[in-house]
Structure 1
Amino acid sequence: MKTILIAAVFALLTSILFTPMVVVYFRRRGFGQEIRIDGPQTHLVKRGTPTMGGVAIIGSTVVGYLVAHIVIAIRGGGGFDLSGLLALYLMVGLGAVGFVDDFIKIRRQRSLGLRARAKFAGQLVVGVSFAIFALQRPNKFGLTPASTHLSYVRDISAIGLGSIGFVVLAYLIISATSNAVNLTDGLDGLAAGAAAMVFGAFTLISFLQFRNPCGAHPLAGCYDVRDALDLALVAASAMSACFGFLWWNASPAQIFMGDTGSLALGGLMAGLAILTRTELLLVALGGLYAAITVSSILQTGWFKFTRIRTGTGRRIFRMAPLHHHFELGGWEPVTIIVRFWIMGGMAVAFGMGLFYADFIGNG
Structure 2
Amino acid sequence: MTQILVAGAVSLFVSIGLTPVLIRVFSKQGFGQEIRVEGPESHQTKRGTPSMGGVAIVIALVAGYFAAHLVGFFIKGTGPTASGMLVLGLAVMLAIVGFLDDIIKVRKQRNLGLNKTAKSVGQAIAAILFGILVLQFRNSDGYTPASERLSYARDLNAISLAGLGGVVFVLFVWFVVAAWSNAVNFTDGLDGLAAGSMAMVMGAYVLITFWQYRNACVGGPGGRHDGACYQVRDPLDLAILAVAGGAACLGFLWWNAAPAKIFMGDTGSLALGGLLAGLSIVSHTELIAVVLGALFVAEMVSVVLQILVFRTSGRRLFRMAPFHHHFELSGWAETTVIIRFWLLTALSVGLGLSLFYSEFLSRAGRG
- With the length of structure 1 as denominator, give the TM-score of the two structures: 0.97
Equivalent position amino acid for 2:329 in 1:
L
Q: Quote the residue 1:310 is aligned against.
A: none
Distance in 2, matches of 1:121 and 1:330, equals 38
Deviation at 1:164, TM superposition (A): 1.4
Distance in 2, matches of 1:108 and 1:67, equals 37
Confirm whether residue 175 of structure 1 aligns to residue 178 of structure 2: yes
Confirm whether residue 339 of structure 1 aligns to residue 346 of structure 2: no
Distance in 1, matches of 2:292 and 2:93, equals 23
Distance in 2, matches of 1:19 and 1:246, equals 10
1:75-118 deviation digits (Å, cap 9, x = unpaired): 13311101000111011000100000000011111101000010
Q: Quote the residue 1:319 is aligned against.
A: 320
Secondary structure of the structure 2 residue equivalent to 1:78: coil
| % identity of equivalent residues | 53
Secondary structure of the structure 2 residue equivalent to 1:62: helix
Distance in 2, matches of 1:90 and 1:155, equals 22
Distance in 1, matches of 2:68 and 2:226, equals 29
Distance in 1, matches of 2:294 and 2:334, equals 20
1:48-73 deviation digits (Å, cap 9, x = unpaired): 11000001001101111111111111
Q: Quote the residue 1:198 is aligned against.
A: 201
Aligned pair partner of 2:293 in 286, 306, 313: 286
Deviation at 1:300, TM superposition (A): 1.1
Distance in 1, matches of 2:311 and 2:155, equals 39
Secondary structure of the structure 2 residue equivalent to 1:159: strand
Confirm whether residue 269 of structure 1 aligns to residue 270 of structure 2: no
4+ residue runs over 4 A deviation: none
Deviation at 1:218, TM superposition (A): 3.2
Q: Quote the residue 2:226 is aligned against.
A: 219
Secondary structure of the structure 2 residue equivalent to 1:33: coil
Distance in 1, matches of 2:43 and 2:335, equals 13
Confirm whether residue 84 of structure 1 aligns to residue 84 of structure 2: yes
Equivalent position amino acid for 1:93 in 2:
M
Equivalent position amino acid for 2:157 in 1:
S
Confirm whether residue 47 of structure 1 aligns to residue 36 of structure 2: no
Deviation at 1:239, TM superposition (A): 0.4
* Structure 1 range deviating more: 212-221 or 259-268: 212-221
1:25-59 deviation digits (Å, cap 9, x = unpaired): 11111111111122222111111110000010011
Secondary structure of the structure 2 residue equivalent to 1:157: strand
Distance in 2, matches of 1:146 and 1:253, equals 38
Confirm whether residue 234 of structure 1 aligns to residue 241 of structure 2: yes
Deviation at 1:360, TM superposition (A): 1.8
Distance in 2, matches of 1:77 and 1:220, equals 31
Matches within 5 A, 1:94-105: 94-105=94-105
Matches within 5 A, 1:71-220: 71-162=71-162, 163-215=166-218, 218-220=225-227
* Structure 1 range deviating more: 214-223 or 10-19: 214-223
Secondary structure of the structure 2 residue equivalent to 1:327: helix
Deviation at 1:292, TM superposition (A): 1.2
Aligned pair partner of 2:251 in 244, 248, 251: 244
Aligned pair partner of 2:266 in 250, 259, 265: 259
When the two structures are aligned, how many residues end up with a matched partner?
357
Secondary structure of the structure 2 residue equivalent to 1:362: helix
Distance in 1, matches of 2:332 and 2:77, equals 52
Q: Quote the residue 1:361 is aligned against.
A: 362
Secondary structure of the structure 1 residue equivalent to 2:248: helix
Secondary structure of the structure 2 residue equivalent to 1:158: strand
Equivalent position amino acid for 1:172 in 2:
F
Distance in 2, matches of 1:80 and 1:2, equals 15
Structure 2: gaps of 5 or more residues: none
Secondary structure of the structure 2 residue equivalent to 1:132: helix
Deviation at 1:214, TM superposition (A): 1.2
- With the length of structure 2 as denominator, give the TM-score of the two structures: 0.96
Confirm whether residue 34 of structure 1 aligns to residue 27 of structure 2: no
Structure 1: gaps of 5 or more residues: 307-312
Q: Quote the residue 2:24 is aligned against.
A: 24
* Structure 1 range deviating more: 82-91 or 289-298: 289-298
Q: Quote the residue 1:330 is aligned against.
A: 331
Secondary structure of the structure 1 residue equivalent to 2:159: strand
Equivalent position amino acid for 2:255 in 1:
W
